[in-house]
Amino acid sequence: MTWQRGLQYFGGHTFVPDGATSAGAGLGAGWTTGAVGTLSHATPAATFDTQMKRTVWTEAGASNNQELGPRQSLASEYIYWPGNARYCGGFYMSAIFRIETWNNDAGRLFVGFTASANPVCISDTIPNNTTGLWHDTTMGQDVLKFITQNNGGSLTSLDVTTHAANPGILVSGTTFLWEMWHYPNQNTNPGVNCKLSVYDVSTDSEAIAFNRVKKVKWQEQGNTLTTNKFMAPQCQMSNGLDATAGHFAIGVANIYCAPWSGEMD
């Protein structure tokens, strides 16, 4: 009965690598992927942070602002929003992704929702009706922010990681779990909640790896999302103005997105 109820209510999206020539599969419509990046599938390895099967998009070279990673782009797949009336709207998103290659901090990263028909990662200009984890070409080392660009163009930005607090976190070989959620509208807009975790393979005093998913940042109702637009998920990276092949690559293990549908009650 639990599974039956869950399937009855589910109206969201999942992404899982399929290990073949395409990017991945899952519930919901097919995922759009960048046309420039080179697509491959990582073979799971024995270490804690590489055991998961991943689809990998690698910078192909010769052009700027490449789109690396999956997103939803069909008009019918824009289904996530805060809601306009009591118990309307609400959503949850989680994504496990790995920074396969990060040559320098002039790259971009976006994991979240947007109402834009275009990939967010290909420009430093954040489109309206967008919320998620963000790094652009102007940010420094190890900087990740939780951003919300509202319907009218108002930007809210909160630090998720900084170089001072999280040295060495935004580098090749880091695996992240990003989660964000918004409760259904209850005649007020409670704001978007978020949590970033990292797959921690550091060692203790006896040189034994912790092998844990470690919380980096938890923010409750950090950004108010004012929008009447429906949004769709993206989990993507871009090379910015670095056109050297192989300098940037993102591996996506899974994405799960669901609108509020009773199971969050």
The answer to whether position 6 is within a domain reads no
210 pLDDT tier (thresholds 50, 70, 90): very high
5 pLDDT tier (thresholds 50, 70, 90): low
The answer to whether position 64 is within a domain reads yes
The residue range of the domain holding 188 is 13-259
Q: Which two tokens stand for residue 58?
A: 């690698």
Mean pLDDT of the chain: 89
The answer to whether position 1 is within a domain reads no
The answer to whether position 7 is within a domain reads no
> Which of 11-20, 39-48, 149-158, 162-171 is predicted with the least confidence, judged by mean pLDDT?
11-20
For the ranges 18-22, 27-31, 74-78, 101-105, the maximum mean pLDDT occurs at: 101-105
* pLDDT > 70 fraction of the chain, expressed in percent and rounded: 89
238 pLDDT tier (thresholds 50, 70, 90): very high
User: pLDDT for 53-68, tens place per residue?
Assistant: 999 999 998 899 999 9
Question: What is the mean predicted confidence (pLDDT) over 83-108?
Answer: 94
Asked whether residue 12 carries a pLDDT value surpassing 60, the answer given is yes
The whole-number pLDDT of residue 187 equals: 66
Into how many domains does the chain fold?
Answer: 1
Asked whether residue 239 carries a pLDDT value surpassing 80, the answer given is yes
Dist CA 99 CA 20 (whole Å): 21
The whole-number pLDDT of residue 223 equals: 77
- Residue 4 phi/psi, 5-degree rounding, is -60, -45
The answer to whether position 5 is within a domain reads no
Q: Comparing 213 with 30, which gets the higher pLDDT?
A: 213
The whole-number pLDDT of residue 63 equals: 93
The whole-number pLDDT of residue 21 equals: 61
Dist CA 3 CA 252 (whole Å): 26
The answer to whether position 199 is within a domain reads yes
The answer to whether position 54 is within a domain reads yes
Asked whether residue 27 carries a pLDDT value surpassing 70, the answer given is no
The answer to whether position 190 is within a domain reads yes
Question: What is the mean predicted confidence (pLDDT) over 44-54?
Answer: 93
The whole-number pLDDT of residue 261 equals: 59
The torsion angle over the Cα atoms of residues 74, 80, 84 and 89, rounded to 10 degrees, is 140
Task: Collect contacts of 121-130 with beta carbons under 8 A, ≥24 apart.
Answer: 121/67, 121/68, 121/69, 121/234, 121/236, 121/237, 121/238, 122/65, 122/66, 122/67, 122/238, 123/65, 126/155, 128/152, 128/153, 128/227, 128/229, 129/227, 129/229, 129/231, 130/231
Question: What is the mean predicted confidence (pLDDT) over 230-247?
Answer: 96
Q: Which residues contact 38 (CB under 8 A, 6 or more apart)?
A: 57, 58, 59, 60
The whole-number pLDDT of residue 1 equals: 45
User: pLDDT for 181-191, tens place per residue?
Assistant: 998 887 666 78
Contact 17, 54 (CB under 8 A): yes
CATH label of the domain that carries residue 62: 2.60.120.870
pTM of the predicted model, to two decimals?
0.93
